[in-house]
A and B are shown apart, each in its own frame.
Chain A
Amino acid sequence: MYGADVEQIAIELSEEPEKLADFEARIARGEKIEPGDWMPAEYRRQLIRMISQHAHSEVVGMLPEGAWITRAPSLRRKLILIAKVQDEAGHGQYLYHAAETLGATREEMLEALLSGKAKYSSIFNYHTTTWADNGAIGWLVDGAAILNQTMLARCSYGPYSRAMVRICMEENFHRKQGQEMIIRYSQGTPTQRAMVQDAITRWWWPTLMMFGPHDADSPNSGLLIRWGIKTRTNDQLRQEFVNQLAPDLQACGISIPDPDLRYDEASGNWLFGVIDWDEFWRVIKGDGPANAERMAARQQAHDDGRWVREALSAYAAKNQIQ
């Protein structure tokens, strides 16, 4: 429902050259496109694809951390974790709203998620095996997400951009609570230090994969940048992430599982080793450590909530009759 081939896109773009020129001029002037404004069919399709995937990621993203709510080590950490998972649910809602303004329905998006047709961030198909994983998710995974979302907060589509501004503000709490946890444990007991090291070792590479394929293998990037949806490429964002995280993790005494990682004076970048793209594609295509488990949990949540939806609908129908 979201795809179109290259030829079809070229035909569509040649159909209304004046409208396309006006549209691109608006984007060049930094204007936001709003629901109701003319937009190329492919702009709409790309946005629905991106925003719905993003929404699904927020929703599935509740699962790895949600599993730890009952096992949080203190009341404070428990309150933080509950608030964070609740925020992710809210972010999913903001994003479904933004996709709906483009004509996608909530129903078809949920159906696409539950039937396994829709993609979501590969990172949530990894297991959270110790408590410190919640800290690693906050600092690394949410930190990576914020870089992407800060870019999208400037995107050319008004409703997506506004949803992102709100999400970034709340995600900063997510990142910082995780960073604070990792910093404290890294200066804590030997057991805490070992737990933190293990968590970073497991989450480092999957986090780098979150930024998506190399620019050369990212077929949508050209159009997305041309239309102001993205302003930076996957590789640029990934490099910025490594530049931020590498010195901070090292200052905590945590080692990063990459023998090729080193600071390059000439470019000012932290150079890193080769990403295991086989693993990336395997997880994206459904064969990651937890894909089946995540989908089963989503389906169960949907099924378990059915009686609530039915009761609310029955109550609304009764009131309407009266």
Chain B
Amino acid sequence: MSDTQWPRYEVFQQEAPDKPVLHNGSVHAPDIEMALLNARDVFARRPEASQLWVAAAERITSRTREELAAGEPAPSTAGEPQTYCLFGKLAQQAQASLLGEVQAASGAAAIATAQTDFEAQKVLRWWAVPLAALLKSDPAEADPMFAPAREKTYKDQAEYPVVTMMRKLRAGKRLDE
């Protein structure tokens, strides 16, 4: 068997139920179930995770503002419409966040529609992800997926009072004073 790389899956994460779903990065995996498990290992090592989504990178359509400004042929509207999740990058430093859903026949058509639907938002980069291409973490498995990280408080830099310790040493005191 050849030892070549697996397909790439993009990873989306919601830090808490009231927070936006954000694009975070990608993982490689032989199939989408493994992609979700790999995403957990890579992106959910800290407590900030309540949901993970993965989708094969090849199913995602992306357009930057620069690409849209350069113009492109009108996207085809032929074919069966399906639901697309639309992600948009709203600030220079920001990750793309989930804006909503549209019905469209292709990713490019979904982005064209979204430009009107979400006109108020200044989107710097669009991503259209077919809902059918997404695998979302099962809410019933949220505990085994995400709870262990919450107990590992030693991963939090606030656990190490080095500023206070240095202040004591500089003042000529002992650490336990």
Contact = CB atoms under 8 A, between A and B. Distances in A.
Contact of B30 (A31, A170, A175, A313): A313
Interface string A305-322: 010011011111101100
Interface in B2-39: 3-6, 8, 24-31, 34
B64 to A, nearest CB: 4
Given A87-B45, A162-B95, A183 B165 contact: yes
Interface stretch (A60-68, A99-107, A122-130, A289-297): A99-107
A36 B127 CA distance: 12
- Range for the number of chain A residues in contact with chain B: 35 or more
A173 interface: yes
A32 B155 CA distance: 30
A243 to B, nearest CB: 15
B124 interface: yes
Given A107-B5, A173-B155, A313-B1, A183 B162 contact: yes
B5 A306 contact: no
Contacts of A314: 1
Contacts of B24: 166
Contact of B89 (A34, A161, A176, A183): A34
A87 B157 CA distance: 13
Interface stretch (A48-56, A75-83, A216-224, A278-286): A75-83
Given A30-B92, A105-B5, A176-B162, A86 B154 contact: no
Contacts of B157: 172-173, 175-176
Given A79-B152, A316-B30, A310 B169 contact: no
Contacts of B152: 79, 83
Q: Is the interface of B mostly helix, strand, loop or mixed?
A: mixed
Interface string B149-177: 00010111101111001100110001100
A176 B28 CA distance: 32
B143 interface: no
Contacts of A31: 92
Contacts of A236: none
B142 interface: no
B62 interface: yes
Nearest to B2: A313
Interface in B73-131: 89, 92-93, 95, 124-125
A93 interface: yes
Given A37-B64, A180-B162, A183-B175, 12 more contacts: A35-B62, A76-B154, A80-B154, A83-B155, A97-B27, A106-B8, A173-B160, A176-B160, A179-B162, A312-B34, A313-B30, A316-B30
17 contacts: A34-B89, A38-B66, A83-B154, A107-B5, A158-B92, A170-B155, A173-B155, A173-B157, A180-B160, A183-B166, A184-B175, A187-B174, A251-B166, A251-B170, A310-B1, A310-B3, A312-B30
